[in-house]
Amino acid sequence: MPNKKLIYFSILISLVSILFSDCVGIVGPKPGIYINEFLTSNNGVVTDPLKHKEVDWIELYNSYDFPLNLSGYYLTDNTVDTTKWKFPAGTIIDANSYLIVWADGQDTLLHTNFKLSRSGEQIALYSKNKELLDQLDFNGQELNISYGRKWDGIDRWLYYDEPSPNFTNNKQKGIRKINYSKKPNFSIGAGFYYISATVSLSSPTNDTEIRYTINGNVPTRKSKLYSEPLQIDTTTVLRAISIEKDKLISRPETRTYFINVKKDMPVISLATDSVALWDTLSGIYENSIKGENRMANVEFFEDQNQVINQSLKMSISGNVARFHGQKAIYLEADEKYGNATLNHRFFPNKRIYSFQSILLRAGGHPDKYQTMFRDGMTQYLTKEHIEFEYIAYRPVVVFINGSYWGIYNIREKLRTNYFIDNFNLDESRLDLLENSWAVANDGDNLHYLKAREFIKECDKTNPLNYAHVKTLIDVDNYINYNICEIYASNIDWPNWNIKFWKKKEEGAIWRWILLDLDYGFGAGTKVDYNMIGYTASPVKTRVTNPPSATVLFRKLLEFPEFKNDFIQRFAASLNVIYSPERVLRIIKKFEDQRSKEMPFEIERWASSIYRSPWGKFRIPLSMTEWDEEIEVMRDFARKRPNYVRKNLAEKFQLKKMVDINTNSSGGHIVINTIRLAEGNLEGSYFKDIPMKMEAIPNPGQRFRYWIVNGKKVHSKILKFNPEANGTVSAIFNNASQTELPSIIRKNTTLSTSNSPYYAAGDVVIDSGAILTIEKGVQVLMEKHRSIIVFGGLACHGTNTEPILIIPNPHTKTSEWGALCIDNASSAIELNHVDLLGGTWYDDKTKYKATITSLRSNIYLNHVTVESSHFPFYSEFGTVSILNSRMTSPKTCDLINIKYAKSALVENCDLPGNDYPDTDAIDYDSIYNGIIRNNTIYGFFGLNSDAIDIGEKSSDVLIESNRIFNMTDKGISIGQGSSAIIKNNIIYGCNMGVGIKDSNSFAYIDHNTFYGNTYGIAVYEKSQNSGGGGAEVINCIFSGSIKKPILVDSKSWISVVNSLSDKKKLDGRENIYGNPEFEDAMNFNFTVKEDSLAHKPGKGKSLDIGAKINIPRKNTPEIVINEINFSPIWKNNPLYWIELYNNSDVDVDLTGWTVKNENHNIYALPQKLIIKKNGYIILTNNYYGFLWHYPNINNVRGVLDDKIITKGDAIMLYDTRMNLVDYVDYKSLLTWPNNLNKTGASLVLKAPSLDSNQKSNWKIDSYSKGTPGIENKSD
């Protein structure tokens, strides 16, 4: 019988060992070399000794009692590649010591050739004999939280909020799992206080320490312990953390208290560790280190109210400005610090409410030491009269760690973020070039170089060539751009300080952006400088205008139309945009914005001297000196127009000028694209140079005729060559339109008989009032003007007479605002309404979409929304969207419904685009919602879903939908949501259905999954978020590219009574075999009568798969005309397919796809047009194709190497998956072996022939094929 006392004693010893294992009796590690600690996201923890950057690092620990030579050892982040990085010769790690390896991709000294992934990967250490010494597989990591062994060399890993590179982990506080303490509470908000402020700190939880700093540094466990309220008597940045037991320290909370500070402009407070700024080796401010990020906190105060408070990346900016005392500072949001964007409308002149980044710039060189607003003012001059990309400007006062840092200008930085913020355009869709040699910052320069070459070499007397130029560059933009630069006399241009861009899409043309005009307006030249001669000089007169920099402008001037337009448009600009009176008024505006703050700026920076290669610079030392600098600009404004006129006359040998008086009432006149203000204006124009005038009516007006020197002219566009002084009047009168009141206070009906209606401004429907709109009514909206509904709206359009809400074509408006429904007092009903050209309301933070419904009951039936932004958004209330169509060309959700009592989207047509992160339908916190019988297709941007169910939505019914071609998920269920998924056809998605996150669940019944990478995937998306679950029954999985079912260890799935033809399904009563669809190629997924899907199983008949069809329609005569199947190059094979339009109309191929039998899907570009009887070449190797076929231009690189294999089939589908053409070329011909690697093609003998008859095809004897031209006959 066992000794009970001995057993009890053993248990006691075990318990004591467990209880005290963290502090006593630890056995040291076995002798060896260990991966001991690492950090994947380093910001402020430590800098590398080579370049003083904050990079990933790996700490090794040597537990031997002797030094170890690591020369020839290996470190890797992928155990498949065991020798990825080799330790350099002479690498020694001392006994019982540490060695830091910097994982920054630099591949020099102790810097590896790889970086660590924050989302998780491997680290492995190998001996010189490739023996595995240590390995760690890790999951997602956090900012500034290292993962290390609790005791050096011992196999127990913890998270550390105070990493210890090159020091022991034994003394550090580690936490077993990522779990942050809650942030502390502040008793009063940040802001402006008269004499002092008393701040109390508290924690949401008991037994919590609070540590704080007042110098801008991030608090740590060693910072001062909070014990009593803090009395703040001077401007202070207070930062605090909470420390709960067995948790990581909280993220810091920051508040700035301004004491006895009064400012008339916005204020920014920056807080960051002093070491990050001032360290003698790594401090980015102290050492003028450009582009190296440090973590900071920014607070933005508008009208003394804090509107932004968040952590972000801070860096020093500017090639010259970084050496100033008052340096340029770049602030960039990053989701790893919290928010991915800065959500505020920094610039009232731009309708942008969210920014990736902003630049704080005290002024570029040399204007930092002159007026400090020259560049911003010069760009602002163009804003009212020309549609132009420009860098926004707003002055602001900046404090750093509580110290006054002077006046800065908030600017946009002309990087990729500028295009995300202004155009919702990321780098994958952008070609951005810089300087005269056209270096590509994003994308590539091939299109531009070809365009420039054409302009240089073509016949300038042929009007067709100039028409072609307009398809390559935005000629109007380029003329306006050069006019601005030449007028401002920006001598630091055009060899550099020039950027131009285009969208990476069909039909996009190059546009130029104003930037860096600090050397203009008298700063770099005298007012009389001949910039026209300089800009058009064929020889270099300065380093800034070599012939390569001026060639584009010079060659365009050889086109008569361009030259004449440039001359007369410049004349109009001098009369209107650059009139001395207007420019002087704007200079005064910019001066007044900062005049009250200038004494503080002077006091702060008067002693700072910038010693440059061009001499010493300092700011004005008094208000008088500052006014003298501004006077240089005033003098320039007064005198510059006449000097420019003189220069134009000399350059182009022009005759004298004539004075033209223009008059308008009820509209305005546009002269060569320059808008004149309504009323009377006298201007000087060049004699005998063609002019073009256009009359644009005000809302509710119409143009009747011109009176030119007393004679009526009835054309809307007036073209003439001015020969003498004269008068031109544009005559307008009331149009047959009815004006909408700005406020509708009682029940009102818009009748068909009084249509069209126009809105000159916003229209508000008061609570209690109902606006009724009859069938066929047109509502014409002005630019960015909106309809705001607090009452009711009843639209009664019909199928044949829909209601139109559109931009006003008479006033040349291209887009309007939005329909904003807010706590409506009556139900909102829209029947047969087309809302075209909508954007958003000015308060975009509240009204996010073209239709926004807040706390209202809304019913849409047969509604079309073509939005340039975001079609539909709602919160609360009830929503029904039936028989409708929603489109957008940008990243958005087509329909996003949150918190609704009931939500129904049914029978809708929802086409996608090729922008990333675009979903068709997004339900958040919806209970018992329905998504039924919709057709959702063509979402080709990354990370795009058809249906996204989140935020704990419950039991959403997703039924009878047709979903195809999604880059991510057909249906996504996450964030603890659940759904019933029945009778859907899902094709061509990465995941047919994806269920992720803890407590997410889907019941999946009678669906057909065809050609998806994974039919259903159930998985944990983010670390520690948990996995999902699914019950699957009566489903068909056909053509799964990888697996019909994917499930990870954190998730579960049950599959019953279902069929797969690629891999056997686990579970009960499942079938492995061909489902035998009626015609899968034509997307008829009805199963044949003798299919396995009907055969009895376990004594009962099966009835599986979806029971819906995809409607078919006739398709254009686009044929697959030639297939190049035999690549010339072995290492970089070139394949291509030729499409031919065998019809007499142009065809838009937007959303069309090419696929092969392996379900590799290739989307054709948006807006791709194939001309009638024209060709398009699709290839896997765009540049290789151009090299091999230099004279073929209509080529698109949309394929990859998987598209064509010897013995396959190719299918061409339109946007709704109608089969357009099909070639089963594996059975067409016997392939001659001697044609391999020769570039031979398989060609259709004539486009009208049946492409699936073997006799209609041949092997082209012409070894390189005939792309883009008629196929050669035998």
How long is the chain? 1274
Decide if 137 is inside a domain: yes
Q: Is 1167 left (phi over 0), alpha (psi -120 to 50) or beta?
A: left
Q: What is the CATH number of the domain that holds 1152?
A: 2.60.40
Same domain, 56 and 143: yes
Structural domain contains residue 897: no
H/E run at residue 61: strand 56-62
Count the neighbouring beta carbons within 10 Å of the beta carbon of residue 1108: 18
Assigned domain for 283 exists: no
- Token couple for 189: 């908000």
Contact 215, 274 (CB under 8 A): yes
Give the integer Cα–Cα distance in Å for 642 and 220: 64
Domain boundary among 732, 766, 798: 732
Helix (H, G, I), strand (E, B) or coil at 213: strand
Give the integer Cα–Cα distance in Å for 802 and 1142: 35
Q: How many CB atoms lie within 10 A of CB 1012?
A: 30
Distance (Å, rounded) from C-alpha 141 to C-alpha 950?
A: 24
- Do 106 and 165 belong to one domain? yes
Same domain for 585 and 521: yes
CATH number for the domain including 248? Answer: 2.60.40.10
Q: Which helix (H) or strand (E) holds 552?
A: helix 547-556
Q: Which residue has the tokens 């979402």?
A: 939
- 3-state SS class at 694: strand
Report the alpha-carbon distance of residue 30 to residue 133 in Å, rounded: 12
3-state helix, strand, coil in the chain (%, to 5): 15, 35, 50
Structure tokens at 1119: 């044929």
Q: Return d(Cα 1030, Cα 178) in angstroms, integer.
A: 28
Pair 647, 696 in one domain: no
Q: Residue 550 falls within a domain, yes or no? A: yes
Minimal CA–CA distance to 145: which of 157, 155, 133?
Answer: 157
Structure tokens at 359: 């630049």
Q: Is residue 780 part of a domain?
A: no
Phi-psi category of 1099—alpha, beta or left, where left has phi over 0 and alpha has psi -120 to 50? left
Question: Taking Cα atoms as reference points, which of 682, 641, 687 lies closest to residue 660?
Answer: 682
Burial of 597: CB neighbours in 10 Å, binned 0-12, 13-18, 19+: middle
- Domain closes at, from 178, 207, 233: 178
Beta bridge partners of 1106: none
- In this prediction, the residues of the chain whose per-residue pLDDT falls under 50 are 1-2, 4-26, 1099, 1231-1235
Would you say 1149 and 1162 are in contact if contact means Cβ atoms under 8 Å apart? no
In a domain, 664, yes or no: yes
CB of 116 within 8 A of CB of 138? Answer: no
Residues 250 and 138 reside in one and the same domain = no
Terminus-to-terminus CA distance in the chain, angstroms? 101
Max Cα-Cα span within the chain: 128
Residue 275 sits at φ, ψ, to 5 deg, of -60, -35
1184 sits in which H/E element: helix 1182-1188
Bridge-based pairing state of the strands 224-225 and 157-160: unpaired
Provide the angle, in degrees to the nearest 10, between the axes of the packed helices 623-652 and 580-595.
160
Of 887, 951, 960, 898, the C-alpha closest to 920 is 887
- Give the total number of structural domains in the chain: 5
User: What's phi and psi for 1205, nearest 5 deg?
Assistant: -130, 150
Q: Token match 């006046």: residue?
A: 407
pTM of the model: 0.91
**Pair 483, 577 in one domain:** yes
Domain edge (last residue) among 696, 711, 732? 732
Say whether both 589 and 708 belong to one domain.
no
Residue 952 domain-assigned (yes or no): no
d(CA 534, CA 1223): 59
CB-based burial label for 926 (10 Å; 0-12, 13-18, 19+)? buried
DSSP structure string for 1220-1271: EEEE-TTTT-PPPGGGTTTT-EEEES-TTS-TT-GGGEEE-SSTT--TTSPP
Q: Which residues of 102-126 are buried (b: 16+ CB within 10 A; e: fewer)?
A: bbbebeeebbbbbbbeeeebebbbb
Whole-angstrom distance, CA of residue 696 vs CA of residue 698: 7
DSSP 338: S
* Contact (CB, 8 A) for 1256 and 1228: no
Single-letter residue type at 780: L
Range of the domain at 198: 181-260
The Cβ of residue 200 has, within 10 Å, a number of other Cβ atoms equal to: 12
| 605, 671: one domain | no
Pair 525, 491: CB distance under 8 Å: yes
Instruction: Name, in order, each residue with C-beta under 8 angstroms of 64's C-beta and a sequence gap of 6 or more.
Output: 31, 32, 33, 95, 96
Are 1254 and 1147 members of one domain? yes
Amino acid identity, position 19? L
- Quote the strand ranges of 418-462, DSSP E: 430-434, 439-442
Nearest-angstrom CA–CA distance, 614 and 606: 19
In sequence order, what E strands does 318-427 have? 328-332, 357-361, 393-400, 403-411
* Among 481, 477, 478, 459, residue whose Cα is nearest residue 468: 459
**Contact by Cβ (8 Å): 219, 254:** no
Is there a contact between 148 and 39 (Cβ–Cβ < 8 Å)? Answer: no
Query: Tokens 């690189």 belong to which residue?
Result: 1197
Provide the CATH number for the domain around residue 147: 2.60.40.1260
CB 41 within 8 A of CB 143: yes
Cβ-contact 550, 538 below 8 angstroms: yes
Whether residues 170 and 188 fall in one domain = no
With both helix axes pointing from N to C terminus, report the angle between 547-556 and 446-457 in degrees, rounded to the nearest 10.
60
User: Is 124 part of a structural domain of the chain?
Assistant: yes
Instruction: Please say whether the beta carbons of 692 and 671 come within 8 A.
Output: yes
Tokens 């330790």 map to which residue?
Answer: 87
Give residue for tokens 């602001």: 396
Q: Do 603 and 679 have their domain in common?
A: no
Whether residue 147 sits in one domain with residue 202: no
Q: Which residues contact 902 (CB under 8 A, 6 or more apart)?
A: 878, 879, 880, 928, 929
Alpha-carbon distance 770 to 226, whole Å? Answer: 58
How far apart (Å, rounded) are the C-alpha atoms in residues 281 and 51?
9
